[in-house]
Amino acid sequence: MSVPIVRYKAELRKAIRRNAMEPEINFLNITAMLDIMTIILVFLLKTLGESTAAVPQSDDLRLPKSVITTEPPQDGVVVTVSKTQILVGDQRVVALPSRESMVQTGVGASFKRNGPSDLYVVPLGNALQAAGKTDKLIRAAKGLDSSSSDAVIIADETTPYRLLMEVIFTLGQSGFGKYNMMVIQSKQAPGNIN
């Protein structure tokens, strides 16, 4: 004969109590942390992508160091002078000769109208005028003075002055009233007099 059903139920309750486990945490709720991190990531990537301050450093393009602490410019046509080429925006306009040749004749006579001593670089001037038109439209839309454009020069630290002068001269001839030269802030700059 089996025991009464009441006894059986009591035994069952006791066994369930005995075997009951503590509620186990088998995953962390990291959704909130993930939200914050995603927002920071998107914000940083956006800031980095938008500013002209984002200059990748490589062997071909290494900015000079300076003690200056001014803010980098927010807009303007970007002219990049690396060791091997000149770019306007992302477009390559001139491939550069060797450094020795650049000291003598800058970009070389083939890119100029009146021989090697001319300072106006024709392909650079053409690209700058096209970029300048776009920049003026942007400036007008932003409500800024659109009579002249700003340029941002990103040049390698070894660029000889002869080449830099041709770039600056071509900028002036192409209707750019002001330019900013990008440098990297550093206390170890050679011109630091402190």
Cβ–Cβ < 8 Å for 119, 109 = no
> Does 194 interact with other proteins (rule: CB under 8 A)?
yes
Query: Cα separation of 21 and 69, whole Å?
Result: 63
Lateral strand order in the sheet of 85-88: 91-95, 85-88, 77-81, 149-155
| Member of 27, 32, 59, 115 binding other proteins (CB under 8 A) | 27
Question: DSSP 3-state assignment of 151?
Answer: strand
Nearer to other proteins by Cβ, of 29 and 141: the residue is: 29
Nearer to other proteins by Cβ, of 12 and 95: the residue is: 12
Nearer to other proteins by Cβ, of 31 and 141: the residue is: 31
Question: Considering just the CA atoms, what is the radius of gyration of the chain in Å?
Answer: 32
Site for other proteins in 102-161 (CB under 8 A): 103-104, 117, 119, 152, 155-161
> Does 171 interact with other proteins (rule: CB under 8 A)?
yes
> Does 20 interact with other proteins (rule: CB under 8 A)?
yes
Opening angle at CA 106, ends 102 and 109, nearest 5: 115
Site for other proteins in 48-107 (CB under 8 A): 48, 53-55, 57, 63-73, 103-104
> Does 179 interact with other proteins (rule: CB under 8 A)?
yes
Quick one: which of 175, 129, 153 has its CA closest to 79?
153
> Does 188 interact with other proteins (rule: CB under 8 A)?
no
